[in-house]
Every structure is written in structure tokens, then in C-alpha cells.
Amino acid sequence: MNQIDSSRARFVPELEALRGVAALMVALHHSLNAAATTPAFERGIIHLLCAGQPAVTMFFVLSGFVLGESLRRQSGSQNRVFESFVLRRLLRIYPAFLVTTLLIAPLFSCDSTRSWFSQTFPEAHPIFTILRNLLFIEATINMVTWTLKIEIVASILLPFFHAFTVCFKSLGLGLILVSLLYLAMFPSRLGRWPCFLLMFYVGYALPLAQNWMHRLWNSRRLYLSLLLSLAFITWIAIHIMADSNTAIEARGLANRLVLLVETGCSAVIVSALAYGSGTPLHRFLKLPVVRFFGMISFSFYLIHHAVLLVMENLVIAPVLGTNMDSLLRGLGAWLFTSTIASFFAWLLFEYVEKPGVAFGKKLTKSAA
């Protein structure tokens, strides 16, 4: 296992920008889903153009990479590292989540608008539903927040994975990877959790081979560009291929294999962006508008679906109706709602997300 060079544990703007691209892909997926009028359109065009699940996989691999670098930068006892790491992570995620949930909750609680947010009316009083959402027990108010429970659990487990890996080095790395891979491949009561944890740990493990990857990606620019293109194509194509299998038993295995292939492709893309340079993708991700969406990506991810549902019911459906071509309607809805969501996401980022991150850093520094 290569020794980690702490000088390279740096901020990579292309990776932040990639988060913005992934968030826009998820938003496009939801917009096209809302516009879909036929099963063929929903199963074909949506997966071809946006592929929402691969974007979520990319989020998890990216999070594992960034969180792993954060863990390696910290010093002190294991207890202190764990407390500081988890506290910062909670203050990074929860304030923006809390504010968006409380902003959406009144619409969810109103009988005339609740159906926008959930296909089934909860039997419990809305206040209990809100509390269950705030505790990550369910995600009926803002459906995209199901991923935050995974982020929180992974953030708690990753320091233990990190300590085990540091203690046992290559053996520890191999044991965790093999164990998660085994659990991810075979169905169990854990469901898809092993797949998600594997995504985080693969991202975490990438810097352990950074010296080798740095030499590889910077010695063969053409090879890097071709491999990046192939990874993106495979990343989306594998999702379409799995959807063509209608057998339920086979679909379960196919879906698990899809998640593993998506994880591998995401790892290639993340490592190439982190340790390579000079490709068209690097240049695209350095564009100011792409950097902006990367900066507000978390807030945008949290708020875009609520904006879509409100605009769909108040503006898009009344103005455009249901007879318009599904693809054009979905793309139009995506552009319109993403513009509005970007403004609110920027406000959320500036006045909630950033202060939460700053407070977390101040709190852990004063406690050190």
C-alpha cells in the first residue's frame, strides 16, 4: 500500500464541480419522470439522458473520497478524531436538511397540496410524519433525503473502517473490501446497504493508490481521455441494460451488478479527475457556471424536487397541459425549475449550509 502524501490531500475543484453535474442529472431525471406519459418513454429516454441512480452512486463515491481525505488530515486520539469527524459531518448535513424539511412541511400538511409530495396519505398526524422525516426514519416529505440517512450512517462507520485500515494496512483494506463486496453480491436482510457502504469505502480507498494513479493519469493523456469516455458510457449504458431484464429474480442480481459497475466507473472518473489533468472533462468542470453548481450542489439537491413539484402543479401543468411532447416538456421543466431552484439553493448555501460548516470547524477546533 502506498504511503499517503499529506501535501496532496487538497481541495480538487473538478470534484466539487462534478457534484454539481451529478445534482443536475438527478434533477433532470425527476423532471423527465414527471413529464413521462408512456412506459416506453420512461424506460428508454429517461435512462438514456440522465440516469438518476448512477448520479447517486457518484455522490457516494465522491463523499467517500472527500471524507477519507478529511480523516487522514486529522490527528489525535481515535476518540477525538471520531467525535470531531462526526460532529462536523452532522453540522454539514443537518442544518440545510432541517430548514428545507420545515419549509416544505406546511405544504405537506395541507390537504390540497399533500398529494404533490407523497402518493399515499400517511395515517399518522402530519406532525408525527414530520418528526419521522427529521429523524431520517422516512423520506415522505422530501423524497431525495433518503440518501442522507446513508450519508449519516456511512459517516459514522467510516472512521471505524479508517482505524481498521490504518491498523492492518493492506490486510485491513482487503478484508473490508471483500466483506462488503460479498454482502453486496448476495441478498440479505441488509438490502442494498452493503452496496452503498462499498461505494463510500471504494472512494475512501482511492488515495491509498494515489502515487500510482498520479503517474498513470499524467503519463498517458490520450489514454486518460479515452478511458474517461468509456467509463461515462458504461456508467449510463449498464443502467439501460439492467432495465431490459424483466425477471424479478434476475433483476435483483442485475441491479446489484449494476451498482457494482457504477461504483467501478465512478471510481475511475473520480481518480482521473483527482490525479490527472488536461482532459476536456477537466476543462469543462472548471467553467464558472459548472463550478457554481458544484458549490451549491448539496443545497440544490435538497431543494430541487420540492421546487419541481410546486412549479409542476402551479405553473407547468396549467400552462403546458399534458399533450405536449414528453421529452420537450421534461427538458423545459428541468431548465425552468433548475433556474428557480438555483436561486433558493444559493440562499440556502450562503445563510444555512456555510454557517453550519463554519460552526462545526469552530466547535471542533475549540474542543481540541
Structural domain includes residue 243: yes
pLDDT confidence of residue 40: 47
What is the pLDDT at residue 338?
Answer: 95
pTM: 0.86
Q: Of the ranges 243-247, 249-253, 263-267, 273-277, which one carries the lowest mean pLDDT score? A: 243-247
With respect to residue 1, please indicate whether it lies within any of the assigned structural domains: no
Whether 151 is in a domain gets the answer yes
What is the b/e burial string over 130-166, where b = at least 16 CB atoms within 10 angstroms of the residue's CB? Answer: bebbbebeebbbbbbbebbebbbebbeebbebbeebe
* Domain count of the fold of the chain: 1
Main-chain phi, psi angles of 318, to 5 degrees = -65, -35
Residue 135 within any structural domain of the chain: yes
Q: What angle do CA 340, 283, 209 make, to 5 degrees?
A: 110
Please compute the mean of the pLDDT values over residues 87-108 and round it to a whole number. Answer: 91
Q: Which residue segment(s) compose the domain that 66 sits in?
A: 6-367
* Whole-number average pLDDT of the chain: 81
Sorting pLDDT into bands at 50, 70 and 90, what band is 280?
A: confident
Please name the residue that has the C-alpha cell 457518484. Answer: 58
- Selection from 109, 112, 140 nearest residue 126 by Cα: 109
pLDDT of residue 68: 93
Residue 97 resides in a domain? yes
